[in-house]
Amino acid sequence: MNQPKIKRRIGKYEVGRTIGEGTFAKVKFARNSETGQPVAIKILDKDKVLKHKMAEQIKREIATLKLIKHPNVVRLYEVMASKTKIFIVLEYVTGGELFDKIVNNGRMREDEARKYFQQLIHAVDYCHSRGVFHRDLKPENLLLDAAGNLKISDFGLSALSQQVRDDGLLHTACGTPNYVAPEVLNDRGYDGATADLWSCGVVLFVLLAGYLPFDDSNVMNLYRKISSAEFTCPPWLSFGAMKLIARILDPNPVKRITVPEILEDEWFKKDYKPPVFNEKEDINLDDVEAVFKDSEEYHVMERKEEQPTAMNAFELISMSRGLNLENLFDGEQGYKKETRFTSKCSASEIVKKIEQAAKPLGFDVHKKNYKMRLENLKAGRKGNLKVATEVFQVAPSLHMVEVRKAKGDTLEFHKFYKNLSTCLQDVVWKTVEDMQEMK
């Protein structure tokens, strides 16, 4: 018999393998047990977040994602917290990073690069319209879904418009050096929208060229090249692509091309189909603050439990088909000490129903995951009757339940099971053969 597996649950989510890991967070694959929907859960340690004074940044990331409902931005479904952790439930994107696509396949054809760039610009423009600036746009933060559509992720360095000072500019230098706009490096304040567009221009260059426009092992040389927009387009680029890149990578943010101007660019407009989508305007940010509160009312249950032991086909064949009291009686040997039935109910529901049925019959119930021990509080002919039950998983939607006498009189066990079976009529699944036998 296979050994039971340990299953971790966070609220209604069944948590699986680790799919990503960073300094302050770990990302786990999970599945919504109610809907079956796959998700990614970003798990943060509260103590680490508070120790490194990251609380405001995390709140900002959560608030940012809740504001954004765009098909080319990773969705945030909900935010939860336990006493020690914060859980950010995100859309699970299966296609990997755009960065990996470049590393594995090299530069892209212009039509393919243009499609990704069009999706990127539309999503970035939408974010800016909601007062959200990413500030770390790069291929590593651009994911691909199963259909090959781009999804912007990782708003950990994003800024909301409320953070803009009286001069109308942001003042925090951040991002990845190779993709950062010149005005971000000079520490005199910058416009989040034009800085994001510069990063989009670098991304477009990388997609078409297969390498970075600004790169140097010496950081000071790198900053000098960025500040003066010192780069050369490869000869295989079309004139339209070169012209657009040059207008985006203008070191003067005032003269840099804007999104409305990009949308009118001839190279950009080719085969452009902006996405059609519905967005929900009512956004509730109450849980953003709630995740940092210590009150139990805001905490989600985090627990580990065993899954029902898996049963293979050979083991199943050797056991009973369904609920049939004849299984309990052997003509030559008398009453049997165990029986089994199958059910299409969930394992947790089966356990709950057995408990509800056993208690009125005078039994004390002890549970451990999907195993139960039932003890009659009233002594019988051979002491207190004790019954053991266990739920086995045969298939995702089919379970087998073993009910056996652990101690006491076998006849009393048979009477108990007869009463139990009457209470479990809605739980038990009968095969066609069973139904024919009952006619």
User: Which range scores top for mean pLDDT: 2-16, 40-54, 363-377, 407-421?
Assistant: 363-377
* CATH class of residue range 7-92: alpha beta
85 is in an annotated binding site: no
Query: pTM of the predicted model, to two decimals?
Result: 0.61
Domain residue limits, the chain: 7-92, 98-278, 309-438
Q: Pairing relation of β-strands 302-306 and 309-310?
A: unpaired
Q: So what's the pLDDT on residue 239?
A: 96
Around Cβ 156, how many Cβ atoms within 10 Å? 20
pLDDT at 237 over 90: yes
Q: Tell me what pLDDT residue 240 has.
A: 96
Which of 39-53, 168-182, 234-248, 325-339 is the most confident on average?
Answer: 234-248
- pLDDT(3) > 80: no
Q: Are 319 and 312 in contact (CB under 8 A)?
A: no
For residue 157, is pLDDT > 50? no
Spelled out in words, what is the top-level CATH class assigned to the domain 98-278? Answer: mainly alpha
Catalytic (active site) residue 154: no
Q: Across all residues in the chain, what is the average pLDDT?
A: 79
As given in the structure block, the two tokens for residue 165 are 């000072």
Q: pLDDT per residue over 385-416, tens digit each? A: 989 898 888 777 788 888 888 888 888 888 88
**Residue-level pLDDT at 295:** 52
Q: Best-predicted range by mean pLDDT among 78-82, 158-162, 240-244, 339-343?
A: 240-244
Q: How many CA atoms lie within 13 A of 199 on its CB side?
A: 28
Question: CATH classification of 309-438, choosing from 3.30.310.80, 2.40.50.140, 3.90.950.20, 3.40.50.10860?
Answer: 3.30.310.80
Q: Which of 47, 100, 111, 136 is catalytic?
A: 136
β-bridge mates for residue 78, sequence order: 89
Q: What percent of the chain has pLDDT over 90?
A: 25
pLDDT digits (tens, 9 = 90+) for 245-256: 999 999 999 999
Report, as an integer, the average pLDDT of 274-297: 65
Looking at residue 108, its pLDDT comes to 93
State yes or no: pLDDT of 120 exceeds 90. Answer: yes
